[in-house]
């Protein structure tokens, strides 16, 4: 009988863990991908808040914590002027709607973890200008 009670308790804990996970926490993953496009294929280093995070053009996958609301993204290439972008974090509408349909508590989890936010913009079509 003790074994059955223990099994029920474990099942309840696991079930509660799933119920109190927000949609963005489950489906959103642990990273965000930024996409850099350039017609001339000019290579540039990508910095976020002063830290080198990768190269453009192409895709850069970053942990969600790396990009905050108001983070500065800078593209640098030798012989070219720096290109700056401010990244904002915007609430994902689809995750919000699904969380509300699931009785709202998952929405609090997604806000608390910050998973409901996505960087805006995520796609950068850049053109670097010569320093001359």
* Phi-psi label, residue 58: left if phi above 0, alpha if psi -120 to 50, beta otherwise: left
pLDDT of residue 4: 62
Q: What is residue 5's three-state secondary structure?
A: helix
What is the per-residue pLDDT for 15? 56
pLDDT of residue 8: 74
Write out the two tokens for 97.
Answer: 């709607």
For position 31, what pLDDT does the model report? 85
What is the reported pTM?
0.74
Average pLDDT for runs of 10 along the chain of length 132? 63 57 67 91 93 95 88 95 93 79 76 83 92 80
């Amino acid at each position: 009988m003790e074994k059955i009670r223990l099994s029920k308790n474990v099942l309840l804990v696991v079930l509660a863990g799933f119920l109190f996970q927000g949609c963005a926490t489950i489906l959103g993953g642990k990273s965000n991908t930024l996409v850099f496009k350039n017609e001339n294929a000019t290579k540039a280093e990508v910095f976020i808040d002063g830290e080198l995070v990768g190269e453009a053009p192409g895709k850069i996958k970053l942990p969600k914590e790396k990009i905050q609301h108001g983070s500065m993204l800078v593209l640098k290439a030798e012989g070219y002027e720096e290109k700056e972008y401010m990244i904002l974090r915007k609430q994902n509408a689809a995750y919000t709607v699904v969380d509300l349909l699931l009785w709202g508590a998952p929405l609090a989890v997604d806000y608390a973890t910050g998973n409901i936010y996505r960087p805006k913009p995520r796609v950068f079509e850049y053109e670097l200008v010569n320093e001359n």
